Amino acid sequence: MKRQRLVLILLVVLILTGIWHYWPVRIDVALDGPTAVWPSYGNDPGGSRYSPLTQITRENVQHLEAAWTFHTGDVSNGKEGIPSMTAFEATPILIDTTLYFCSPFNRVFALDPETGQQKWVFDPKLDLKGKYANQLTSRGVSYWKDRQSGQERIFAATNDGRLIALDAATGIPCADFGAAGQIELKPDAGDELWLGEYQVTSPPGIAGDLVVVGSAISDSQRVDCPSGVVRAFDARTGALRWAWDLAPPDSVDKQRPKSRAGYVLGTPNVWAQMAYDPARDLLFVPTGNPSPDFYGGQRDGLDYYGSSVVALRGATGEVAWHFQTVHHDLWDYDVPAQPTITEIEHEGQRVPVVIQPTKMGHIFILHEETGEPIFGVEERPVPQSIVPGEQTSPTQPFPIKPPSLVPHAVSPDDAWGILWADRGDCREKLEKIHFEGIFTPPRVDEPTLMYPGCAGGSNWGGVAVDPERQILIANAINLAWVVTLISRDKYDEVKKNNPHTEVVPQDGTPYGMRRDVLASSLDLPCNPPPWGTYTAIDLKTGDFLWQKPLGTVRDLAPLPIPIKYGVPNIGGSVVTASGLAFIGATLDNYIRAFDIETGKELWKGRLPAGGQATPMTYRLRPDSKQFVVIAAGGHGHGGSTLGDAVVAYTLP
């Protein structure tokens, strides 16, 4: 009797403490649903991040468990002989029965997708001693199949500016592509001041039989930084087929500084992922702003394609149309994310659209063939600059719908803090910082509030779209930043006195620049939470369905208390036909699943490091299970836990 009572007490304790949750569980896994792979970065070439899979449902997702974990070994904290930190931002792709992805050191891995066993690895021998402007990172690789020979290739682009073609079956460089399997991108784009000023951080675009690359450039350093030219190469031979110089179309021949190949220096660049519609042969590219970021008095028209979504003819590189999301961008509000191609139900018709999220929290929904806004856009008056030589735009475009993902106003009365003194510190700072609302231009030697900050709103994670439910899912950052233009005679002193703050020269202009997050003396944000949100938008109406705080301070606070303030997030979502949205991204170490229709959090899985990446999902065969996979290696600049893991989840 005593033993029975002891067993009963033990069972009660297990249930009450939650340990019972970890007891082995067996559930029925449906085998009658669809199978699907994940052949490109956003699953389809248009970047919807939508999967037709239904095996993992809203009813059984709570039972997900880790099936396998793979470690790349490639991680850096910015010390120990590697001066750049890593950010493991890759989304794997799945072709047939092989999972492909790249590490922050640009090593390309091929794994068995059901066991995580390595099939092959290719090492490009990246020089890790460079000071890479955008950290050591790579968001993925791309796949291409030769319709003539049947040969399959994996294309990877590197932090040190190379485009590499690998045999998909073996990982061996394709000898007939470029020079022994690779092309050097930097010499023709312009000379670097240091190794790492010019990078390629996103997977190459694939447009038919062309492989297309842009670049990520340290664009606050100097006026004449390397060109942002976008180039298309023959996927078989590596021969250059076209190049799109982002200088204004009527001024390429003006007396501007050019690279050895004739591309204008200091132009906008394309660092985020591209999207492609093969039916219309339209390649959509999101552009950055000209260099430098925060002073544009010497751009002389280089803003023409800046901070825009541009539709190019895939075969020729000819511009079909472009839509500018920010005029004369002085806030580093470059377009940060892959455009998403889909169809929406609008006024009783199915309309082809391209959806472009932005750092301002604006989402522009444009007709795919013309660039015309579907829900309308208003040009509204904005604050003007008093900086000598500056040429501010009198208005900026605001979409009528959807609403902004993040607020655009903050005042001293909104100052936030966990303690009275902390809140008072923030209030005092907000009272002293110049701010007239969104698009307040920077001032010289006077701090200016930038809200939203240049990290977002949206960032490179982009949005996911359920085309059947007509629902868009977007995560966003809500942080205020402070920017100051620095008189040239004060620059050295400011640089010396702020060793842990971003202070850059903007060479070739009269002013340097300083920027950082607006934070209290306790290093907490001064604007009120949530600092990260998750939002669903009804694409038929343009209205919010729901918006929730995303993430907790579990891995940011001195004590691991999961307060749901909503935290900064870097990465994106995948949505499934079963009505689920999966996302990592947050600075706490979790991957989560949400009900796409209600926003209810249904499951979360603990990651070994920060999940600052976009997950993907697949199911190989009718007799196999559905997997959800995410890179968990953290983000050096974001401050999350660093690591080197790829984790796959499935039902038990």
The CA-based angle 361-367-371, given to 5 degrees, is 80
pLDDT score of 4 more than 60: no
Q: What is the mean pLDDT of residues 281-291?
A: 97
User: Higher model confidence: residue 532 or residue 522?
Assistant: 532
Cβ atoms within 10 Å of 395's Cβ, excluding its own: 13
- The encoded tokens of residue 311 equal 């539709």
pLDDT score of 647 more than 50: yes
Query: 3-state DSSP call for residue 94?
Result: strand
DSSP class per residue in 232-255: EEETTT--EEEEE--S-TT-TTSS
User: Higher model confidence: residue 88 or residue 19?
Assistant: 88
Total tally of structural domains belonging to the chain: 1
pLDDT score of 319 more than 80: yes
pLDDT at residue 8 in the model: 53
Catalytic residue at 332?
Answer: yes
302 pLDDT tier (thresholds 50, 70, 90): very high
pLDDT at residue 251 in the model: 64
Q: What is the mean pLDDT of residues 452-470?
A: 97
Do you find a cis peptide bond into 652, omega within 30 degrees of 0?
A: no
Amino acid residing at 162: R
pLDDT at residue 14 in the model: 45
pLDDT score of 259 more than 50: yes
Amino acid residing at 422: D
Burial 321-342 (b: 16+ CB within 10 A, else e): bebbbbbbbbbbbbbbbbbbbb
pLDDT at residue 253 in the model: 59
From the list 228, 251, 240, 232, the residue with the least C-alpha distance to 313 is: 232
Q: What is the pLDDT of residues 214-256, one digit of tens each?
A: 999 998 899 999 999 999 999 999 999 999 999 998 766 567 8
Terminal alpha carbon distance of the chain: 35
User: Higher model confidence: residue 14 or residue 142?
Assistant: 142
CATH no. for residue 383?
Answer: 2.140.10.10
Indicate which residue of 44, 245, 332, 644 is catalytic: 332
Q: What is the mean pLDDT of residues 616-642?
A: 97
Contact status, residue 75 vs residue 86, Cβ threshold 8 Å: yes
Contact status, residue 628 vs residue 60, Cβ threshold 8 Å: no
- The C-alpha atoms of residue 201 and residue 486 are separated, in whole angstroms, by 30
From the list 266, 263, 257, the residue with the least C-alpha distance to 245 is: 263
pLDDT at residue 80 in the model: 86
Q: What is the pLDDT of residues 19-73, one digit of tens each?
A: 444 456 678 788 889 999 999 999 999 999 999 999 999 999 999 999 999 999 9
pLDDT score of 11 more than 60: no
Amino acid residing at 71: H
- The encoded tokens of residue 207 equal 């447009």
Q: What is the pLDDT of residues 371-418, one digit of tens each?
A: 999 999 999 999 999 999 999 999 999 999 999 999 999 999 999 998
Amino acid residing at 13: V
18 pLDDT tier (thresholds 50, 70, 90): very low
344 pLDDT tier (thresholds 50, 70, 90): very high
Q: Tell me the pTM.
A: 0.95
pLDDT at residue 17 in the model: 45
- Full domain range(s) for residue 532: 2-650
Average pLDDT in the chain = 94
